[in-house]
Amino acid sequence: MKILIVEDETSIAEVVSAYAKREGYDTITASDGMSALEIFEREDISLVILDLMLPKLSGEEVCRRIREKSQVPIIMLTAKTSESDVVYGLDSGANDYVPKPFSPRVLMARIRAQLRPAASRDNIAAGFCADGRIEIDPERVEIRKDGKSIPVTKSEFLIFSTLASKPIRTWSRDEIIRSALGDDYDGFDRTIDTYVKNLRKKLAEPGHENGWIKTVYGFGYRFDDEK
Ligand code: CA
C-alpha cells in the first residue's frame, strides 16, 4: 500500500516516511498542493497524510479536490489546532486530524486504524432501513438510497450503520464514537456532529431534511424512522 505524504517541511516528511516504511508501507512525498494532486492522479494511493499550510494550494483545498473523486482516507497533520480548524478540516472531508507537534507512533496507529480492513464492519448487518429506501452494504462499505450509491467516508458509513442498527435507541456522541469508530478514536465528541452534518447533506431530501438522523437535544442522535 502506498501512502502519499503532502508536507513542505522536508524533515517532517522524512520522519513520517521513515516510520511508514518501517510499518511496511511504500511512500511518496509531495512538497506542495499542486504536485500532491498530480501525484494522486498518477499513482495508486491508499492513504494521504496532509499538511494544511502548503505552498501553491492549501491542504483544505487539496482535500476538497481529492474528495470530488475519491474516498481515500485522508489524515490531516497540522499545526492549525483550534477547535474551528479541526471542524473545518473534517468538513473538507478529512477522516482524521493529528495536531503538530505529533508523535510518529500515534500517527502510525492512526494510519493503521484507517487502513485496517473495515474495523467494525463485520459487526454491521447488511440490510434495508428507512422503509426499504436505504440499503446498508458492509461488503462494499456503501450506502445506497433508492438503489443509488451515496458517496460516504468509512467513518460516515460506520456511524450511519450504527444508528440504523437500533432505530429506537438514542445514542450519545460518546457511545457513537465507541460503537462505530472504536476505542482508538480520540477526537473530540463534537466531531461526531460534523460527521452527522455531512451525512445529512448527502442523504437529505424534502420530507427528510435531517437525512433520517434525528437530533435528541442534550443527548445525541437516533435514527429517524418515523413516517
Ligand atoms: Ca507546512
Same domain (yes/no): 219, 129: yes
The answer to whether residue 119 scores a pLDDT higher than 50 is no
72 is in which domain, residue-wise? 2-119
Mean local confidence (pLDDT), 91-116: 88
Same domain (yes/no): 196, 172: yes
Rounded to the nearest whole angstrom, what is the distance from the C-alpha of residue 43 to the centroid of ligand 1?
A: 22
Rounded to the nearest whole angstrom, what is the distance from the C-alpha of residue 184 to the centroid of ligand 1?
A: 26
pLDDT of residue 221: 95
> pLDDT for 182-202, tens place per residue?
655 656 677 889 999 999 999
Rounded to the nearest whole angstrom, what is the distance from the C-alpha of residue 21 to the centroid of ligand 1?
A: 22
Same domain (yes/no): 28, 101: yes
Same domain (yes/no): 9, 103: yes
Count of domains forming the chain: 2
Rounded to the nearest whole angstrom, what is the distance from the C-alpha of residue 77 to the centroid of ligand 1?
A: 9
- Among the candidates 64, 86, 119, a domain finishes at 119
Q: In which residue are the cell numbers 501553491 written? A: 56
Q: What protein residues have CB closer than 5 angstroms to ion ligand 1?
A: 8, 51, 53
- Among the candidates 98, 119, 140, a domain finishes at 119
Rounded to the nearest whole angstrom, what is the distance from the C-alpha of residue 31 to the centroid of ligand 1?
A: 9
> pLDDT for 84-99, tens place per residue?
888 888 888 898 989 8
Rounded to the nearest whole angstrom, what is the distance from the C-alpha of residue 102 to the centroid of ligand 1?
A: 14
Q: What is the CATH number of the domain that holds 74?
A: 3.40.50.2300
Same domain (yes/no): 113, 126: no
Rounded to the nearest whole angstrom, what is the distance from the C-alpha of residue 178 to the centroid of ligand 1?
A: 32
Q: Categorize the per-residue pLDDT at 121 as very low, low, confident or very high, splitting at 50, 70 and 90.
A: low
Q: Between 80 and 11, where is the model more confident?
A: 11
Mean local confidence (pLDDT), 70-97: 85
Residues 32, 6: Cα–Cα separation, whole Å? 7
Mean local confidence (pLDDT), 25-52: 95
At position 56, the amino acid (one-letter code) is K
Same domain (yes/no): 151, 174: yes
pLDDT of residue 118: 45
For 114, residues 6+ apart whose C-beta sits below 8 A from its C-beta are: 47, 73, 75, 95, 96, 154
Residues 55, 226: Cα–Cα separation, whole Å? 49
Q: Categorize the per-residue pLDDT at 116 as very low, low, confident or very high, splitting at 50, 70 and 90.
A: low
The answer to whether residue 112 scores a pLDDT higher than 80 is yes
> pLDDT for 50-59, tens place per residue?
999 999 999 9
The dihedrals phi and psi of 49, each to the nearest 5 degrees, come to -100, 125
Q: What percent of the chain has pLDDT over 90?
A: 56
Same domain (yes/no): 112, 134: no
Neighbours of 41 (CB within 10 A): 10
Same domain (yes/no): 139, 73: no
- Among the candidates 119, 137, 167, a domain finishes at 119
Sheet containing strand 74-78, strands side by side: 26-30, 2-6, 47-50, 74-78, 96-99
Same domain (yes/no): 86, 134: no
**What's the gap between Cα 174 and its chain centre?**
17
